[in-house]
Amino acid sequence: MTALLIDDEIQIRRLLRIALEGKGYNVREAENGVLGLQGAAYHKPNVVLLDLGLPDLDGVEVLRRLREFSDVPVLVLSVRNQESTKLAAFEAGADDYVTKPFSTAELLARLAAIQRRQGADENANLACGGLVLDPAHHAASLDGHALKLTPTEYALLAQLVCHAGKVVTIKQLLRAVWGPQSEDQSHYLRVYANHLRKKLEGSGISIKNEPGIGYRLELSECSNSRE
């Protein structure tokens, strides 16, 4: 399990590192928002602890950018206790909010809780017509038969199934599958979308391209439901 700490206060990072390593976490640190986003894309942590008062970007903005490519559980740590600030953080995608100073025991308990919630959601199957994705095992089946997918094909298809019937923008897909550094590499999408089209051929499920905008998974029975 990897935890990413995004906080400019070295004393806080030291305190959190000791507490988290005591629970068996591998801890990564970032002292500002830009490094934090890069660390999230590169290390793919299991949880992020995010301070709002960063020197380069406001923490809420960091959270918004993070949510463009990751669903990692995020626990916000901040001295700000105004209701409006907390609301902004939750609207941007925070899973929980702890005000500084905090109890280490409480923080670890809240951290465990949001990871349990995330784990339960991630392990639920995604279904679209005869297509079923099993996130727990990164496996897929089509009409009851195993569907062989590369890790990249699976990640792209999962994004489309999660938003079945809706257009997912090129930027969103690139960030989610290849990371924020790949926003200008739209040819990746064309190649892998074509791979998926061939593997879904004859199933009644189609991947539509909205030129210059994004891609949409189409099927009349698509419900993007979690089983």
pLDDT tens by residue, 104-148: 888 888 888 877 766 545 556 778 888 998 887 778 999 889 999
**Domain region containing 99:** 2-122
The answer to whether residues 15 and 39 belong to one domain is: yes
Helix (H) or strand (E) holding 2: strand 2-6
End-to-end CA distance of the chain: 26
Q: What region, left, alpha or beta, does residue 209 occupy, with left being phi > 0 and alpha being psi -120 to 50 degrees?
A: beta
The answer to whether residues 142 and 195 belong to one domain is: yes
The answer to whether residues 110 and 191 belong to one domain is: no
The answer to whether residues 50 and 82 belong to one domain is: yes
The answer to whether residues 22 and 74 belong to one domain is: yes
What is the pLDDT, as a whole number, of residue 227? 47
Q: Are 66 and 93 in contact (CB under 8 A)?
A: yes
Q: What is the pLDDT of residues 10-36, one digit of tens each?
A: 999 999 999 999 999 999 999 999 999
Q: Under DSSP, is residue 86 helix (H, G, I), strand (E, B) or coil?
A: helix
The answer to whether residues 151 and 221 belong to one domain is: yes
43/28 Cα distance (integer angstroms): 8
Q: Are 146 and 199 in contact (CB under 8 A)?
A: no
Mean pLDDT score of the chain, rounded to an integer? 86
* CATH assignment at residue 218: 1.10.10.10
53/197 Cα distance (integer angstroms): 45
Q: Among residues 73, 99, 122, which one ends one of the domains?
A: 122
The answer to whether residues 168 and 103 belong to one domain is: no
Query: How many domains does the chain contain in total?
Result: 2
